[in-house]
Amino acid sequence: MPIRGGLPPRNPRFVGREELLTRVRGLLGNGPVVLLPSPDHQLGGTGRTQLAVEYAYRLADTYDLVWWIPAEQNAGMRAALAGLAQQLGIPEARDLNRTLGAVRDALSRGEPYRNWLVVFENANRPEDIMPYLPSGAGHVLVTSRNPRWTAEVAQALPVPVFDRTDSVDLLRARAPELSAADAEELASRLDDVPMALDLAAAVREAAGWPLSEYLRRYDERAAELAFPTPIRVAWGLAAEALGEDAPADRVLLELCTFLASAPISWRLLWAARTLPLEGEVARTVRVERRLRAAMRRIGRFGLADLDPAGESLTVHPLVRGMFGQELSSERHAALLRTVRGMLAAADPGDPDNPAGWYRYAELAPHLIHSDLLGGDAEEVRQLVINCIRFHFARGDYDSSRDLASSAVARWRDALGETAEQTLLAAFHLANALRAVGRTSDARNLNLQTLRTQREVFGADDEATLATANSVGGDLRMQGHFGQARQLDADNLVRYRRLFGESFPTALRCANNLAADLRLLGDFRGARTIDEQVLRHRQAIFVDGHPETLSSRTGLAFDLYGLGDFAAAAAVLAGQPSGRVPADHPFALWAGRFAAMAARRRGQPEARELAAANFAACRQKFGDLSVDTLAAAVSLAHCARAEGDLTGAHELLERAVIRYHAVLGDEHPFTLAASAGLAAVVRAAGRYAEARTIDHEVLGGLRRSVGADHPFTLSCANGYAADLAAAGEAQPARELAADTLRRSRQVRGVDHPDTAACAWNLALGDGDEAARQQALDALAKAFGDGHPVFRRTAEGVRLETDIDLPPL
């Protein structure tokens, strides 16, 4: 049996189309096929979707995988492709774009399924689906109303109306008592248009109208219209019949026409029970049983498709459009207000919680068709903001950015630039911009938003503090660690004053301040904060909660920075397993720090751990992420420690180039990675080249983070070795002595890197007593049998590697 995903139910009354199905099969062998309306029925109704569904079921056994993608809206299409990624065994990247690219590539390679069928339904903008179109041995089938498909993208196949025989078969299948002659008369009146035929058959069955009654009503209604097309007349009769049979059901259907062609769940309609509705409609939606019965009646009249389980209705775009044309402006406005209120009432809240994401996935497709951005109620706009955050939380940064950008533009015009929800949307837009790599735009927008919030709402407003936290993130990304510390310290005072010390948002702010201190090299200060935050989080969260893991990883890096590598490893080992996915960012941080600690402790598995972490970061974040680049630097240190200078050089050279592109030439991380590259070049004996790199890097680090920063001290230690190799003994000694003095003050006399600096100075001086003293310090720091003593036995200088904390 093939694997199926998202496939609509098969139409048990499907008839004919044998020649078309054969043509579809033949054309698919030459590339993607797009099913279009025939030229004389440009609005549709000729059965394109039903043809695609029938093809998928009829030919399913010839495929290993059949996957249906609703493509009317980007967000829904991307969500369906993300579901396909899970089926293909593709780990979800932090940025959904990378996951979707991996889906396309896996299908194109035929891994793990060679014979597949992917159907894009209602893909009315070719440019939207082109980035996701796979090639290879599988097949791509598209349904669309848009004739602007070029032959280079897909082969166009117009879907005409039925031939008369198929029309008669369809009508008689629905009404066996109908004679062939009567069926032919009705088919002739309806011009063999599939949707009109289906509506006529459904309403005759539901309303019990004999053929003569239906034809009489059909002629009367056609005479009332200026342009009586078969679909318009048949739809009008079905809507009229539903209104006569159950007026409340017709109102429910009218509400549905303000929503998208995506499934409309009974839960969404049930949310309307909280709204002020007309008597019978209110009674219908108040009780689930009555609501589900109404949905079944709407389906029986052919005005919407009811799924087999009776869970949801899907309204055809043509039906939506025809209802819209019938409504007066007053009625349209009233129904639209109700729909917006219904959507807002269905908002589950807490969009960061994965448990509620399925609810947001149901709501998000309907935002555009209900013009939720134009709603004048605060709770309606809050749903928009929650959907923006939902897209961001699940990694769909493009959808988050697009919706946030639209919200900011609309609300600036409607509410003003200083309105609370305009500013909140701008805050979320900046987050999305940063996530898609537009860091400069994010920074500028955040600063503008923060200034306005402080002026309008004050510095202690909760939304103002959230934006200030985001600005702190921008400052860290820019390399302005001191400014970030000042801002986050001020934020923390305000958070604690407003919420108390152990409130989750206050703890997140404290966590940010600890990150600033780590980046500044103040590991003692960071440790104090991280230990406090960890205690609070352990008290309020279950074991293994992501935020608890965040505190553990921060504390582990603090201990690592203080030179206590065993304690760092123990903190990470104490984290309960199984609660946080292996590819969660915090879990990946923990994996990198564990590999770092293993390397510094001289454990042979360090490189294997670092290599696995680097691969996982590439999969999750991509090659240009600062997390991936930091993992590459740590892996390079392992490679150099094992003597693999070629591997280390390749990793660091790529990392430096990418740091230059992502963070800029003067960012401390770019400079730190360059210092690591100099160490590899120095190990290869290319001292002049290493000296050139270190000279530039040391000047940059002194300017950016100061002479006492651990990054600067590590680079200075390497530069002293460059000078010594160049025969400049006196400058080398002076720099080594200065570096040792600063290391004792900054890192402490017992820090392993301080001991390494002491060894290097003693080695250059030829002072045996000082050398022995340094060896004793190294033994105290590392223990007997550590690989570092192979280096000292060879009488060579020791490197002090720079491992990068998270930004």
pLDDT over 80 at 47, yes or no: yes
Q: Which region among 34-38, 119-123, 455-459, 618-622 has the lowest average model confidence (pLDDT)?
A: 618-622
- Asked if residue 172 and residue 151 are part of one domain, the reply reads no
Which among 334, 363, 392 is the end of a domain? 363
Domain-located, residue 427: no
Q: How far apart are CA 148 and CA 772, in angstroms?
A: 80
Q: How far apart are CA 715 and CA 727, in angstroms?
A: 19
Which among 363, 379, 394 is the end of a domain? 363
Number of structural domains (the chain) is: 3
Q: Which two tokens stand for residue 473?
A: 């993130």
**pLDDT tens figures, 16-28:** 999 999 999 999 9
What value, to the nearest 5°, has the Cα angle with vertex 543 and ends 538 and 546? 85
Domain-located, residue 626: no
Contacts of 99 by beta carbon, 8 Å cutoff, 6+ apart: 81, 82, 85, 90, 91, 92, 93, 395
CATH number reported for the structural domain that contains residue 692 in this entry: 1.25.40.10
pLDDT over 80 at 489, yes or no: yes
Q: What does DSSP say about strands 312-314 and 264-265: parallel, antiparallel, or unpaired? A: antiparallel
Q: Which two tokens stand for residue 390?
A: 């939902």
- Asked if residue 75 and residue 16 are part of one domain, the reply reads yes
**pLDDT tens figures, 294-307:** 999 999 999 999 99
Domain-located, residue 136: yes
Q: What is the residue type of 425?
A: A
Q: What does DSSP say about strands 65-70 and 116-121: parallel, antiparallel, or unpaired? A: parallel
- Asked if residue 137 and residue 169 are part of one domain, the reply reads no
- Asked if residue 169 and residue 139 are part of one domain, the reply reads no
- Asked if residue 198 and residue 146 are part of one domain, the reply reads no
Domain-located, residue 70: yes
- Asked if residue 192 and residue 93 are part of one domain, the reply reads no
The residue assigned the tokens 């005005």 is 303
- Asked if residue 243 and residue 122 are part of one domain, the reply reads no
The residue assigned the tokens 């190990």 is 683
Domain limits at 125? 3-160
- 141, β-bridge pairs: 33, 119
pLDDT score, position 699: 97
Which among 160, 179, 213 is the end of a domain? 160
- Asked if residue 155 and residue 202 are part of one domain, the reply reads no
The percentage of the chain sitting over the pLDDT mark of 70, rounded to a whole number, equals 100
List the one residue out of 32, 25, 26, 35 whose CA is nearest residue 194: 35
Q: Which region among 349-358, 494-503, 697-706 has the lowest average model confidence (pLDDT)?
A: 349-358
Domain-located, residue 122: yes
Contacts of 611-615 with C-beta under 8 Å, sequence gap 24+, read: 611/635, 611/638, 613/588
Exposure b/e, 253-288, CB count within 10 A at least 16 = b? bbbbbbbbbbbbbbbbbbbbbebebeeebeebbeee
CATH number reported for the structural domain that contains residue 105 in this entry: 3.40.50.300
Report, as an integer, the average pLDDT of 273-287.
92
- Asked if residue 789 and residue 695 are part of one domain, the reply reads yes
- Asked if residue 217 and residue 152 are part of one domain, the reply reads no
Q: What is the residue type of 525?
A: G
The residue assigned the tokens 């190799």 is 725
List the one residue out of 610, 616, 608, 605 whose CA is nearest residue 593: 610
Cα 796 to chain center, whole Å? Answer: 49
- Asked if residue 130 and residue 96 are part of one domain, the reply reads yes
Burial zone of 805 (CB within 10 Å; 0-12 exposed, 13-18 middle, 19+ buried): buried
The alpha carbon torsion through 675, 676, 680, 683 (nearest 10 deg) reads 70
Q: How far apart are CA 206 and CA 223, in angstroms?
A: 24
What value, to the nearest 5°, has the Cα angle with vertex 670 and ends 667 and 674? 140
Domain-located, residue 536: no
- Asked if residue 350 and residue 239 are part of one domain, the reply reads yes
Domain-located, residue 246: yes
Q: How far apart are CA 67 and CA 80, in angstroms?
A: 9
**pLDDT tens figures, 146-197:** 988 888 889 999 999 999 999 999 999 989 999 999 999 999 999 999 999 9
Domain-located, residue 147: yes
* Cβ count near 386 (within 10 Å): 23
pLDDT over 90 at 355, yes or no: no
Helix (H) or strand (E) segment spanning residue 489: helix 481-499
- 158, β-bridge pairs: 36
Average pLDDT, the chain: 93
Report, as an integer, the average pLDDT of 449-476.
95
**pLDDT tens figures, 542-578:** 878 888 999 999 999 999 999 999 999 999 998 776 6
pLDDT score, position 24: 97
Q: How far apart are CA 274 and CA 343, in angstroms?
A: 11
